[in-house]
Chains A and B, each alone.
Chain A
Amino acid sequence: MLSLQSYLTLSAIIFSIGITGIVINRKNIIIVMMCTELLLISVNFNFIAFSHFMQDLAGQIFVFFILTVAAAEAAIGLAILVALYRNKKSISVGDLNKLRN
């Protein structure tokens, strides 16, 4: 029988993979945004697992709102990225020092 811990363990593994990805690929903003999506998915996984095992629908409602906010965040982040690329012809984090001094 599948217990709650197996779902939580899977979610923890996905979360740590997302953190590792942010640190490894910190030069490339697009991959960092994809890793943020991985983190959000693992948190949603926790919510849904608890919602199923505690017979409470509030967890699924919360996942609904997290999905909404994550979609808005991805759209705005990519729009910022496109605007940045038009101005600087690069999306590398190392080139983003325009506010320095």
Chain B
Amino acid sequence: MLLEIIFYTFASILICASLGVILFKNPVYSAVSLILAFITTGMLWLLLEAEFLAIVLVLVYVGAVMVLFLFVIMMLNIHQEEERSGFTKIAPIAIFLGLVIAAELIALYWIQSDQFSGLESISNSSLSVDNTLLLGTELFTKYILSFEIAGFILLLAIIVSISLTLRTRKNVKKQIASDQIAADPKQRVRMVDIKRGEN
């Protein structure tokens, strides 16, 4: 009974927060609403005994990605009034589309519910196994190649973001070491014979 109360509370908070993401006029409010949605999703993942991923979701998404989003929103200074000009015109189509997709998926789950009947929620808490330990063991043995590729993708993301946003300003007085090393002394210093008595 307690699990149901927790689930329905967090599910309603999650749905309200996601509606806030798409309905707020100000992008900052949308981003804060998305943060709430991520935290609530983390709570629901704790209910599903995916403890490591719940913590990772809060740390990575709330701590890094959403801070990046908020940073970009505040840096770009957008006039949100003119951005929402087509809001009312397209809204009925969008709501219809969303309702159709939701109805299709939910009908799919509940009509053929006998296919889900064999799947029961079995708690791991009585088995004294650690979710993080299991995940790490799988990740570093069976999925080690995928893990390395994921690390490489993150490195790629770092390089791409830096190279996209790097600005080299002109008229900056800084040393260029390669030019200094390649300098030829014969071009820098000119020896001039000055004859005594002239000028």
Binding site for B on A (CB under 8 A): 1-10, 12-21, 23-28, 30-31, 33-35, 37-38, 41, 44-45, 48-49, 51-55, 57-58, 60-61, 63-65, 67-76, 78-83, 85-86, 91-92
Q: Are B34 and A19 in contact, with the CB atoms below 8 A?
A: no
A76 vs chain B, min Cβ distance (A): 5
Q: Who on chain A is nearest to B158 by CB? A: A75
Residue B121 is within 8 A (CB to CB) of chain A in the complex: yes
Which residues from A are CB-within-8-Å of B11? 10
Per CB-CB distance, the 9 closest pairs between chain A and chain B, nearest first, are A21-B22, A20-B98, A72-B157, A12-B105, A23-B94, A16-B102, A79-B161, A79-B164, A16-B98
Which residues from B are CB-within-8-Å of A76? 157, 160-161, 164
Q: Who on chain B is nearest to A90 by CB? A: B78
Taking a contact as CB atoms closer than 8 A, the residue among B105, B121, B131 that contacts A15 in the complex is B105
Q: Who on chain A is nearest to B143 by CB? A: A61
B3-23, CB < 8 A from A: 3-4, 7, 11, 14-15, 18-19, 21-22
5 more CB-based (< 8 A) A-B contacts, given A72-B153, A78-B72: A30-B73, A53-B120, A69-B153, A71-B65, A72-B156
B73-90, CB < 8 A from A: 73, 75-76, 78, 80, 82-87, 90
Binding site for A on B (CB under 8 A): 3-4, 7, 11, 14-15, 18-19, 21-22, 27, 30-31, 34, 37-38, 41, 44-45, 48-50, 52-53, 56-57, 60-61, 64-65, 68-69, 72-73, 75-76, 78, 80, 82-87, 90-91, 93-95, 97-99, 101-102, 105-106, 109-110, 113, 116, 119-122, 131, 134-135, 138-139, 143, 146, 150, 153-154, 156-158, 160-161, 164-165, 167
Would you mind naming 24 contact pairs between A and B with Cβ atoms under 8 Å apart? A2-B3, A2-B7, A12-B106, A13-B102, A14-B18, A19-B101, A27-B83, A30-B76, A33-B69, A44-B41, A61-B135, A61-B143, A64-B56, A65-B146, A67-B57, A72-B157, A75-B65, A75-B161, A76-B157, A80-B164, A82-B75, A91-B78, A92-B82, A92-B83
Q: Are B139 and A64 in contact, with the CB atoms below 8 A?
A: yes
Q: Who on chain B is nearest to A21 by CB? A: B22
Distance, CA A75 to CA B37, complexed state (A) = 20
Q: Are B135 and A57 in contact, with the CB atoms below 8 A?
A: yes
Taking a contact as CB atoms closer than 8 A, the residue among B50, B94, B105 that contacts A51 in the complex is B50
Q: Who on chain B is nearest to A27 by CB? A: B83
B139 vs chain A, min Cβ distance (A): 6
> What does DSSP make chain A's interface, helix, strand, loop or mixed?
helix
> What does DSSP make chain B's interface, helix, strand, loop or mixed?
helix
Distance, CA A19 to CA B95, complexed state (A) = 9
B79 vs chain A, min Cβ distance (A): 9
Given known pairs A27-B83, A71-B64, the reply for A17 and B139 (CB within 8 Å) is no
